[in-house]
Structure 1
Amino acid sequence: MNVMDVKKLLSQLFSSIKNGSVLFDDKGVIFYVNSSACKFLHSQENQLLDTLVEETFRVFIDDVSHKSKKGIIFDIFNKNQQSTLLSNQTLYFVSVDGHKFSIEASSSCIEVDGKKIGLLLFRDIAENKGHDQKLIAMNAHIETIIDNFPVGFIEYDNFFCVKRINIAAENILGIKRAEILGLNIKTEDINKKEKTSLAMVSYPFLAKKGKTIKSKENSLGNKLNNKIVHEMILDFPIKREIEVTTISLVATKDNTIEGFIKIIRDITKERVLSRSKSDFINIAAHQFRTPLSAIKWILNMVLGGDKGIISSPQKKLLTKAYHTNEKMILLVDNLLNVTRIEDNRFGYAFKESSIIEAITDVVSELRLMAETGKVTLTFEKLDNIKPFIFDFSRIQLAIHNLINNAIKYTREGGTVKISLTQEDNDVVVEIQDSGIGIPADQIKQTFTKFFRAVNVSRLQISGSGLGLFIVKDIITRHGGIIGVKSIENKGTTVTVRLPMRMTVEETGNKQNRTT
């Protein structure tokens, strides 16, 4: 193969590559440039052909013109082998029109029939550098944000090696970033005083006074991108209560977790305030309840004729006083129950009981209230429902609150229908009324604390807004679900679905279902 054939072959070979490609002879005269080189140098092919490579490609290092002894030709032909021009420094080309490019260049020498052909390949790295600078700036931005988080932040890889930690985490856990970064945190670190708190945060099961608050899987139902929240008490560097949220990081295409982060929040002040509030409510509620109970006892005696016969007008007034007193007692009880729920002290006694008996007792108790309000109260039940495990008194409280609400918010001449059925392994309680209903845009708030619908407030019907909050907690703790359908001015239907658990263990082991 002669020189012309080689030139033709090389020209065909480099015509389609993206890198700029230049071929020149042993005198440095360019005989081929590809389209990428023309585009890169802002020149037409005929402007570059037959020019000297040394003149066309002026080489700079930073702002200093580079003369490598005899120039590019010497660098290529003298080495007589493949090489990278100035491999340890940033190289710049300046085109004929004065445009400056940062490049990465490589060269090689081919000898044919005793004649040398020079090959120069180059690519623009300015774009890559721009991206790199943007990434550096973005990382610095993210680091600044994370470092100034008011909450602690720790990032781990899959082997519990600490990759990142912010100032708040250092302060909360009593550790120094320089001593922790790059370390694999182990369970044994719980025995090292300075790493005790970090070990507990890394492995929450090590915390003696800790609990899992909630665990949430992603929409795919697998363990990727999970979110788990724990609360625990630390003793080092000072005693404090914290909330730790663990989130697995984005997984790769093969569905593996690429590390995780811990968000650490100091909740000491919140808990102190919460306990103070609970203590105050407890003391106040008990102080109220004592005289209210005494008033109830006295009114019962008088209404029952124990202190002599009373006239009809007197009885009417005393009955009104009695009902008002009952409302006050209910309010106090609700306040106490809400406080217990928030402090996880709202205890449950699960045992085998009859749901038919539980609801029948409540309906009987509230029948007088319905008659007084001229509301028709009916109860339809399936008689062959077998007893199952639930807390009799708590379920009675929930059903009582629901029926009480249905009667209270139903006008004279209206109806309240209660039905009890069984569907597979669930019992279904439905309370349907023809009352004032709930505005459509407020139904989602029904079970929130202190919620009272706008239409209820306008009618000035008394209530605390706590009853349904308590109901929701009771049903949820039984692993059940509760739903509401309502049309304003037409009525409301509340549906409670409870699983018929056959053992006490099931009440604790099964996860609560959601609506």
Structure 2
Amino acid sequence: MDILVLGMVFFILLALVIGVIISRVSKSSKLEEELREEKELTHAIVASMGEGVLVLDTDYDIKLINPQAEKLLETTAKEAVGQKWAEFVKAYVGDQEITFDKRSSVKTLASGEIKITSIGDDHYYFTRSGRKFPIVAITAPLKREGKVVGVVKVFRDATHEKEIDRMKTDFISLASHQLRTPLSAIKWFTELLLDPAAGTLTMEQQGYAAKIAVSTDRMVSLVNSLLNISRIESGRIMIDPKPTDLLELVESVISELKRKMDTKGHKFIINTIDKLAPIPVDPKLIGHVYANLIDNAIKYTQDRGDISVFISKKNDEIISQISDSGFGIPVNEQQKLFQRFFRASNAIKHVTEGSGLGLYLVKAIVESSGGKIWFKSEEGKGSTFWFSLPIAGMQPKKGEVSLDS
């Protein structure tokens, strides 16, 4: 009897164990099936994307390429997978090849940050067949358990956008040129009206003429900004580096803005950490950068505020810092600051005139000079802008026109 009971208990336990095993096998099979379906779905999504997709490992070897990337790069997955990305497809800024350390995939892998390549960056891919085409791209780190294990690059051919951008630039340039002639005439005749030698005006007439003069100056400034932007974007600006003492350049800018500064009663400080040797830069272009940043500090700082310029050397760069105790920039608007035509909401309340083109132009000049620009700002407390220039200076470039010509 005991043996029968034990036998029954054994078979019951065995059945339970078999049931658990069958259940686990069933769950495992279901999990494998779910993983397989998820993998197939991911593959289908990547394969059907209208943009090119590449996955690189930490050695920058191509691990995955989707059909659209195969089409754009004129290759096949069989040919591309396993190849070194930087060797397989060359990347250019304009006509200059991007060195390995400057490639977005290298920067992303090193920093773990997303890199965005926009139409304004003027990046191109050069396929092995010799086709060169403009691109816009997003390069993102591929992470596993918080560790960067590769890079995902999504890109597309920007030929159409590039052409539209060129047409827009050409239109702005043409329209601005056409506006300059009548504006120059208005400005000249207004100056004649205000000259006592041309005859006596009543106080009311003088007021009207003065308002015409101020408005004309604003329009001339806007037209010049539009022209300068179109020239830089089209690559027509010449760069003529000369050994330049940056401290003296800033002092000359300050002298031109002194009346504005004195009117508002600002306290101004300029300093350098060491005696800096002259560096080869285009004084007209870099002077424009200083003039815009200092003029902004004057405009957007309340009366009797503090403005300072500090120039220093760090490694192989010269860093210029322009600080003010002004209105600052709202946090939720700071990412838009270097966009064309953008003006901060609090700035518009205090200073109504302005085109929103100055900082866009400044950024274009600094980056075309091989430098960077960045800032820190707190609303109600002020802003600090920094921009860097390579200590080796700017590279000369032939062009059709100079700034404001």
Q: Mark yes or no: TM-score above 0.5.
A: yes
The partner residue of 2:391 within 482, 494, 501 is 501
Change (3 A) 1:135 1:210: farther
Aligned with 2:104: secondary structure? strand
The partner residue of 1:182 within 70, 78, 81 is 78
**Within 5 A, what are the aligned runs for 1:277-288?**
277-288=168-179
Distance in 2 separating the partners of 1:272 and 1:266: 12
Aligned with 1:142: secondary structure? helix
Q: More relative contact order in 1 or in 2 (CA 8 Å, sep 6+)?
A: 2
How far has the Cα of 1:146 moved from its partner?
Answer: 0.9
Name the structure 2 match of 1:203.
Answer: 89
Name the structure 1 match of 2:53.
Answer: 153
**Within 5 A, what are the aligned runs for 1:413-432?**
414-423=303-312, 425=314, 426=318, 428-432=320-324
| 2:264 maps to 1:375 | yes
Change (3 A) 1:314 1:325: same
How far has the Cα of 1:278 moved from its partner?
Answer: 0.9
Contact kept? 1:246, 1:261, Cα under 8 Å? yes
Unmatched segments (≥5 aa) in structure 2: 118-122, 397-405
Give 2:78's aligned amino acid.
G
Change (3 A) 1:460 1:250: closer
Contact kept? 2:298, 2:307, Cα under 8 Å? no
Contact kept? 1:162, 1:181, Cα under 8 Å? no
Contact kept? 2:114, 2:138, Cα under 8 Å? no
**Within 5 A, what are the aligned runs for 1:266-415?**
266-304=157-195, 307=198, 313-343=204-234, 348-370=239-261, 374-382=263-271, 385-389=275-279, 390-410=281-301, 414-415=303-304
Name the structure 1 match of 2:124.
Answer: 231
Which one has the bigger helix percentage? 2
| 2:30 maps to 1:138 | no
Distance in 2 separating the partners of 1:461 and 1:232: 43
Q: Deviations over 1:399-436 (max 9, x none)?
A: 2223333343456xx12544344445556443425x54
Aligned with 1:182: secondary structure? helix
How far has the Cα of 1:252 moved from its partner?
Answer: 11
Change (3 A) 1:312 1:474: same
Give 1:277's aligned amino acid.
K
Give 1:153's aligned amino acid.
V
Q: Deviations over 1:5-49 (max 9, x none)?
A: xxxxxxxxxxxxxxxxxxxxxxxxxx9xxxxxxxxxxxx974365
Larger Rg: 1
Distance in 1 separating the partners of 2:82 and 2:59: 9
Name the structure 1 match of 2:375.
Answer: 483
Contact kept? 2:293, 2:322, Cα under 8 Å? no
Q: Percent sequence identity over matched residues?
A: 26
| 2:66 maps to 1:166 | yes
Change (3 A) 1:304 1:152: same
Distance in 2 separating the partners of 1:210 and 1:285: 30
Greater mean alpha carbon deviation, residues 346-355 or residues 463-472: 346-355
Distance in 1 separating the partners of 2:374 and 2:135: 32
**Within 5 A, what are the aligned runs for 1:4-43?**
none
Aligned residue pairs total 379
Contact kept? 1:447, 1:469, Cα under 8 Å? yes
Change (3 A) 1:151 1:315: same
Change (3 A) 1:478 1:148: closer
Aligned with 1:415: secondary structure? coil
Distance in 2 separating the partners of 1:386 and 1:157: 44
How far has the Cα of 1:251 moved from its partner?
Answer: 8.3
Contact kept? 1:250, 1:257, Cα under 8 Å? yes
Give 2:166's aligned amino acid.
R
Q: Deviations over 1:457-479 (max 9, x none)?
A: 34571111111222334445463
| 2:342 maps to 1:465 | no
Change (3 A) 1:324 1:463: same
Q: Deviations over 1:143-187 (max 9, x none)?
A: 111122111234577999876543423443556xxxx34346799
How far has the Cα of 1:267 moved from its partner?
Answer: 1.2
How far has the Cα of 1:454 moved from its partner?
Answer: 1.9
Distance in 2 separating the partners of 1:174 and 1:427: 43
Distance in 2 separating the partners of 1:154 and 1:375: 56
Aligned with 1:263: secondary structure? strand
Change (3 A) 1:202 1:144: same
How far has the Cα of 1:270 moved from its partner?
Answer: 1.1
In the superposition, the TM-score normalised over structure 1's length comes to 0.58
Contact kept? 2:338, 2:363, Cα under 8 Å? yes
Distance in 2 separating the partners of 1:483 and 1:245: 23
Aligned with 1:430: secondary structure? strand
Q: Deviations over 1:193-241 (max 9, x none)?
A: xxxxx9999322599967548626568847x899696523669799854
**Within 5 A, what are the aligned runs for 1:9-88?**
46-47=7-8, 49=10
Distance in 2 separating the partners of 1:392 and 1:102: 80
How far has the Cα of 1:135 moved from its partner?
Answer: 1.8
Contact kept? 1:228, 1:246, Cα under 8 Å? yes
RMSD: 4.8
Aligned with 1:479: secondary structure? coil
Distance in 2 separating the partners of 1:341 and 1:206: 18
How far has the Cα of 1:449 moved from its partner?
Answer: 2.7
Contact kept? 2:309, 2:323, Cα under 8 Å? no
Unmatched segments (≥5 aa) in structure 1: 1-30, 32-43, 58-94, 104-123, 188-197, 507-515
How far has the Cα of 1:274 moved from its partner?
Answer: 0.9
